[in-house]
């Protein structure tokens, strides 16, 4: 296993790391690839590609947003644990809640975190539309999400979980400008305001990505999100 490759990308991104964190990421990679043989968790199994597209991409937020100021973070549609698990490894003092509607993916995350001694991750099985109306309503300081839905839909799914004054960070591809523009109505209806769009490139690659930072400025009206399935079927705005 080559700690050097991942460590050197992270250094170029100004993300300080140590061998304990790199070991955990590398072990998580091994567990992921092993489990991927028996269930569909990821299309990315090559080590270097996983370092770039899963680990470096998940952690790329660190230079732009101070995650350590948050007590609670939700990762909606975490899948095999991205970006939630890498971020949890880097912020052991912050409590991460990884949400997905597919329970077997969450079981993989739970098993992996327990075997790697990652204690600040809990999983939550369900659909965002339901979870947003329950005990977690406006409960998280920060919500993150990658590769789940377009920004209008995602805003309806997630902004109800974010505390007033908190932030939602959407991990997006470089080609999302139109999507971002057309989400502004949904963002506003949900009590959010697009604060910043950050472009970044993973070092030594041509992988261009964006973060959309959406500040939760008002309470989300009680009627949102609408019932499960509706946000995707007829997006707000």
List the one residue from 7, 9, 87, 100 that touches ligand SAH (CB under 6 A): 100
List the one residue from 9, 24, 67, 79 that touches ligand SAH (CB under 6 A): 79
Per-residue contact flags (x/-) with ligand SAH for residues 110 to 149, judged by CB under 6 A:
-----------------xxx----------------xxx-
Q: HEC profile for the chain?
A: CCHHHHHHHHHHCCCCCCHHHHHHHHHHHHHHHHHHCCCCCCCCCCHHHHHHHHHHHHHCCCCCCCHHHCCEEEEECCCCCCCHHHHHHHCCCCEEEEEECCHHHHHHHHHHHHHHCCCCEEEEECCHHHHCCCCCCCCEEEEEEECCCCHHHHHHHHHHHEEEEEEEEEEEECCCHHHHHCCHHHHHHCCEEEEEEEEEECCCCCCEEEEEEEEECCCCCCCCCCCCCHHHHCCCC
Residue 210 interacting with ligand SAH (CB under 6 A)? no
Residue 102 interacting with ligand SAH (CB under 6 A)? yes
Residue closer to ligand SAH by CB (options 146, 172) is 146
**Site residue total, ligand SAH (CB under 6 A):** 16
Tell me how far, at minimum, the Cβ of 75 lies from ligand SAH, in Å: 7
Tell me how far, at minimum, the Cβ of 19 lies from ligand SAH, in Å: 25
Q: Give the interface with ligand SAH as residue ranges (CB under 6 A).
A: 77-79, 82, 99-102, 105, 127-129, 146-148, 157
């Amino acid at each position: 296993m080559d700690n050097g490759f991942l460590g050197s990308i992270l250094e170029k991104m100004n993300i300080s790391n140590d061998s304990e964190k790199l070991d955990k990421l590398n072990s998580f990679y091994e567990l992921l690839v092993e489990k991927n043989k028996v269930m569909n968790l990821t299309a990315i199994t090559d080590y270097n590609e996983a370092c770039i597209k899963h680990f470096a991409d998940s952690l790329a937020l660190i230079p732009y947003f101070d995650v350590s100021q948050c007590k609670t973070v939700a990762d909606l549609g975490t899948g095999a644990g991205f970006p939630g698990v890498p971020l949890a490894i880097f912020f052991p003092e912050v409590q991460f809640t990884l949400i997905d509607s597919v329970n077997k993916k969450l079981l993989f995350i739970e098993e992996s975190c327990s075997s790697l001694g990652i204690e600040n991750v809990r999983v939550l099985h369900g659909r965002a539309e339901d979870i947003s109306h329950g005990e977690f309503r406006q409960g998280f300081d920060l919500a993150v999400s990658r590769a789940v839905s377009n920004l209008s839909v995602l805003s309806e799914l997630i902004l109800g979980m974010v505390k007033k004054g908190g932030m939602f960070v959407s991990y997006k591809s470089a080609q999302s400008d139109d999507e971002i523009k057309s989400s502004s109505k949904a963002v506003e209806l949900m009590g959010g305001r697009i604060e910043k769009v950050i472009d970044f490139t993973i070092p030594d690659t041509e992988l261009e990505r964006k973060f959309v930072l959406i500040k939760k400025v008002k309470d989300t009206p009680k009627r949102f999100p609408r019932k499960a399935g509706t946000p995707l079927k007829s997006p707000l705005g």
